[in-house]
Amino acid sequence: MNIEEKIKWNKCKNCGFLQHTTHLRCLQCKSDKFESIEASGICKLLTYTILNALPMEFRDQESYALGVVEFKNGVKALGQLANKDNLKTGMLLQPIYKKICNDLNGTEVYSYIFKPLE
């Protein structure tokens, strides 16, 4: 059974700048004091691309869409889009945590995909 992971970013306690959790210091003011901010709810599509030369893990697909989304609290994420058709920047999407592929060792890989609101 796979436990759903949360999309998290760091918010600088000094200046409020949002950034990815891999940075040890604020990219804006250099502070090292952060609070964790969790993405939730719906998000909007900022940009996207269609991948036609896929990694081996996705050999069962012809192509897929990959997008950058932003949640209402400013947290951004990169992930697969549920479909490739009728995509428009600014459209609203719902995150869904699910199996996206098997890695090259056959282990199931889970992540968020983003599905347009109906």
Residue 62 has a CB neighbour count (10 Å cut-off) of 8
> Which candidate, 1, 6, 26, 4, places its Cα nearest to that of 16?
26
Q: Where are the domains of the chain?
A: 1-38, 40-116
How do residues 5-54 score in pLDDT, each as one tens digit? 889 999 999 999 999 999 999 999 999 999 999 998 999 999 999 999 98
- Alpha carbon 5 to its chain centroid, in Å, reads 11
User: So what's the pLDDT on residue 25?
Assistant: 96
Quote the tokens at residue 50: 């269609």
pTM: 0.83
Q: Looking at residue 17, what DSSP letter applies?
A: -
How do residues 71-102 score in pLDDT, each as one tens digit? 999 999 999 999 999 999 999 999 999 999 98
